[in-house]
A and B are shown apart, each in its own frame.
Chain A
Amino acid sequence: MGWLDRLLGRRQKSSTVAKDRLQMVLTHDRADISPGLIAEIKDDIIAVIARRLAVDPDSVVVTLTTTARESRLVAEIPLHNRRRQAP
């Protein structure tokens, strides 16, 4: 019942949800990394960088992605711009 889904704001088809969930789960399965481990790695990365550079912990993003059968861990670490800091 597509019209009911739209009325109730349920935009996504269940097969789309299934595919997204599978890709997420398989990314972890293939790299043999548990989802909780990523959060701990993120904390470790923030601590290491923060020893030398000013980092905003809330804007750091660490993601695990998979293309075909290869996995990769990518960290985005926005740095505080010195000129913007209060004198």
Chain B
Amino acid sequence: MHAKVITVTSGKGGVGKTTVTANLAAALAMLGRRVVALDADIGLRNLDVVMGLENRIVYDLVDVVEGRCRLPQAMIRDKRFPELYLIPAAQTRDKMAVSPSDMVLVCDQLRQDMDYVLIDSPAGIERGFRNAVAPADQVIVVTNPEVSAVRDADRIVGLLEAEEHGPGQLIINRLKPQMVARGDMLSIADVLDILAIDLLGVIPEDEDILVGSNRGAPVAMNGSHSASAGQAFRNIARRLEGEDVPIMELSHQGGLFGRLRAWMSGR
């Protein structure tokens, strides 16, 4: 069994890397795949808290790299899913505690028993980013439809090409269809024109993301079929599995008439 190692990165901080990693891991596990999520943000760990597994941490990635525990001991099993694991980052060290070759070694061990290894990259372009990208077979670049996020994503795409990790695939996160319709937000087409890489998926702005993070329950677990973030994550997981899923219809759904239309098409 040879796992696909996918790194989720962005350049800019706060655009949704951890949210994407947690939700894609959950969605892939819901499809029956064996998934391990790895937090590479050493010193500022967050994947544990977003996944709701913060109370189960005994060992972390740095313990594995420094030989204080075996790799399986650092793998926290998320009991809500058939086979989903988290390897948390250390909170009291920094990015220098781990090297790119350490990451490659850890992932080589994980490849044997898993279908997917999803690596949550820290923001930036320094050691943490290089650690996260070193073992990747594929890279997902997350951006927001906003000038500084797109600018940083462009730099990341350039770095990935220079280091021969391919151009990567794009996820546009926090899209607000109403603002796009008014001309107050960059559209999907605008962002694709500028970045010129393949689109993996689009995730709409959704208050449920915050609620999910409050509870430690990724929204991909929610059953809603409407044009929600949860559905977007599930669609992206299916695309990663090779299925051809069209981008969700994200038209303006506000107002009474819009809600009626949405209710009728959802039946």
Q: Which residues of A contact B (CB under 8 A)?
A: 13-16, 18-19, 21-23, 25-26, 29-30, 68-69
> Are B185 and A15 in contact (CB-based, < 8 A)?
yes
> Are A13 and B183 in contact (CB-based, < 8 A)?
yes
Q: Which residues of B contact A (CB under 8 A)?
A: 146-147, 150-151, 154-155, 158, 161, 180, 182-187, 190, 193-194, 196
Q: Residues of A contacting B147 with CB < 8 Å?
A: 18, 21-22, 25
Q: Which residue of A lies closest to B183 (CB)?
A: A13
> Are A14 and B158 in contact (CB-based, < 8 A)?
no
Give the number of residue pairs across the A-B interface with Cβ within 8 Å: 42
> Are B151 and A26 in contact (CB-based, < 8 A)?
yes
Summarize A's interface: helix, strand, loop or mixed: helix
Q: Which residue of B lies closest to A26 (CB)?
A: B154
Q: Which residue of A lies closest to B152 (CB)?
A: A29
B97 to chain A, nearest CB (A): 31
Q: A13-B182, A26-B151 are in contact. List 9 more A-B contacts (CB 8 A).
A: A15-B183, A15-B187, A18-B146, A18-B190, A19-B186, A22-B151, A29-B154, A68-B196, A69-B196
Q: Residues of B contacting A14 with CB < 8 Å?
A: 183-184
> Are A15 and B180 in contact (CB-based, < 8 A)?
yes
> Are A16 and B183 in contact (CB-based, < 8 A)?
yes
> Are B150 and A22 in contact (CB-based, < 8 A)?
yes
Q: Residues of B contacting A68 with CB < 8 Å?
A: 196
A64 to chain B, nearest CB (A): 15
> Are B183 and A29 in contact (CB-based, < 8 A)?
no
Task: Report 26 cross-chain contacts, Cβ distance below 8 Å, ordered by A residue.
Answer: A13-B182, A13-B183, A13-B184, A14-B183, A15-B184, A15-B186, A15-B187, A15-B190, A16-B183, A18-B147, A18-B186, A19-B186, A19-B190, A19-B193, A19-B194, A22-B150, A22-B194, A25-B147, A25-B151, A26-B154, A26-B194, A29-B151, A29-B154, A30-B154, A30-B158, A68-B196
